């Protein structure tokens, strides 16, 4: 596979998942190790901090390539091991959208012979929640699939909320799929703990998402094709979760509060801040 082919696949979302995108970008860079390649690869997924951090690490020294690949592969097992320990027999768990990291935790808990039920929401308008439900079905994990507007019902009698993350800012705010902060606010009302499940390389020192200015808007046609005139469709892709709503961030660094997570990731990976 050549550099241009990998770039096309990343751009066309044929390669999905933050870690898979990062590993593909590293492969592409190894084929064409130039500053122009770095710029090109970052432009394909400008909101992927794991990709940027991985490229930054290997740009410093090409010998870091195997270390980076190993980081992503070993972190997955460590995170799932930490996360599954929070799950008790007969728990009801809630998740929103689709997170491969959350799914690894559920898979690990299932392999530990734990019995639990997962509730999840459909995540309109692209229905990524269906991906979660299909994977749960393949794993033979009981699942109740809720419409988004029934999120409150799904959460209020759950035991834990597990969510993924697209990025974590320098303020400890978690960026994730729209609806995530609503899930956390609902969980707080009903005293349900919230855990963010993510690789620490999603720490984003530059916070290029631009959430302080404008949240990324998806096309109106995803929500309603041929909508009536004078009707404005609002279709935000992400939102910020206030760190005060988060009980812990589960990463390869451990289960930490947002504040302690930031302290640890900066200590462990000072090159991210350069």
Mean pLDDT of 44-66: 91
What is the predicted pLDDT for the residue at 215? Answer: 67
Q: pLDDT tens across 99-142, in order?
A: 999 999 999 999 999 999 999 999 999 999 999 999 999 999 99
pLDDT given at position 179: 97
Query: Where does residue 193 rank: exposed (0-12), middle (13-18), buried (19+ CB within 10 A)?
Result: middle
| CA-closest candidate to residue 169, choices 77, 235, 238, 254 | 238
Nearest partner of 180 among 250, 229, 255, 129, judged by Cα: 129
Cα end-to-end distance, the chain, whole Å: 32
Q: What is the pLDDT of residue 214?
A: 58
Region 2-7 average pLDDT: 94
Residue 64 contacts by C-beta under 8 Å, 6 or more apart in sequence? 57, 58
Q: Kindly report, residue by residue over 144-176, the tens digit of the pLDDT.
A: 999 999 999 999 999 999 999 989 999 999 999
Calculate mean pLDDT across residues 231-245. Answer: 94
Residue 226 backbone dihedrals phi, psi, to 5 degrees = 55, 45
Nearest to 198 by CA among 171, 176, 181, 170: 176
Please check whether residue 215 is in contact with residue 236, taking contact to mean a CB–CB distance below 8 angstroms: yes
pTM: 0.91
Task: Give the pLDDT score at 48.
Answer: 85
Query: Taking the mean position of all CA atoms in its chain, how far away is CA 109?
Result: 19
- The region of weakest confidence among 9-18, 56-65, 101-110, 208-217 is 208-217
Domain coordinates in residue numbering, the chain = 3-74, 76-273
Q: Which of the pair, 32 or 216, is modelled with greater confidence?
A: 32
- What average pLDDT score do residues 238-267 get? 97
Structural element, H or E, at residue 116: strand 116-121
Q: Are 7 and 51 in contact (CB under 8 A)?
A: no
pLDDT at 210 over 60: no
The band of 13, judged by pLDDT with boundaries at 50, 70 and 90, is: confident
Grade residue 270 by pLDDT with cuts at 50, 70 and 90.
very high
Average pLDDT of span 77-92: 98
Chain-wide mean pLDDT for the chain? Answer: 93
In the predicted model, is pLDDT for residue 211 greater than 60? Answer: no
For domain 76-273, say whether CATH 3.40.50.10470 is its number. Answer: yes
Catalytic positions, written as ranges? 97, 166
What's the pLDDT at 20?
86
116/27 Cα distance (integer angstroms):
38
- Beta carbons of 24 and 9 less than 8 angstroms apart: yes
pLDDT, residue 8, reads 93
pLDDT given for residue 259 in this prediction? 97
In this structure, what token pair is assigned to residue 186? 């609902």
Quick one: which H or E segment has residue 161? Answer: strand 160-163
pLDDT at residue 250, rounded to an integer: 98
């Amino acid at each position: 596979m050549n550099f241009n082919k990998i770039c096309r696949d990343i751009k066309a979302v044929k390669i999905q998942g933050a870690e898979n995108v990062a590993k593909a970008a590293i492969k592409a860079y190894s084929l064409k190790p130039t500053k122009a390649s770095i710029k090109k690869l970052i432009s394909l997924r400008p909101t992927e901090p794991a990709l940027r951090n991985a490229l930054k690490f290997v740009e410093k020294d090409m010998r870091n390539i195997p270390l980076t690949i190993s980081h992503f592969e070993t972190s997955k097992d460590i995170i799932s091991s930490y996360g599954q320990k929070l799950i008790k027999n007969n728990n009801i768990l809630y998740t929103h959208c689709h997170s491969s990291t959350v799914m690894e935790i559920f898979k690990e808990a299932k392999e530990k012979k734990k019995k639990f039920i997962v509730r999840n929401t459909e995540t309109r308008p692209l229905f990524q929640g269906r991906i979660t439900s299909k994977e749960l079905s393949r794993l033979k994990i009981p699942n109740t699939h809720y419409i988004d507007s029934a999120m409150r019902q799904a959460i209020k009698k759950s035991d834990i909320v597990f969510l993924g993350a697209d990025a974590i800012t320098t303020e400890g705010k978690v960026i994730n799929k729209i609806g995530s902060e609503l899930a956390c606010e609902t969980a707080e009302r009903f005293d349900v703990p919230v855990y963010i499940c993510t690789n620490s390389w999603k720490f984003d020192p530059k916070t290029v998402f631009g959430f302080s200015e404008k949240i990324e808007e998806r096309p109106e046609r995803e929500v309603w094709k041929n909508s009536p005139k004078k009707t404005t469709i609002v279709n935000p892709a992400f939102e910020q979760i206030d760190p005060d709503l988060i009980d812990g961030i589960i990463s390869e660094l451990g289960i930490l509060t947002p504040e302690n997570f930031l302290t640890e990731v900066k200590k462990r990976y000072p090159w991210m801040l350069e």
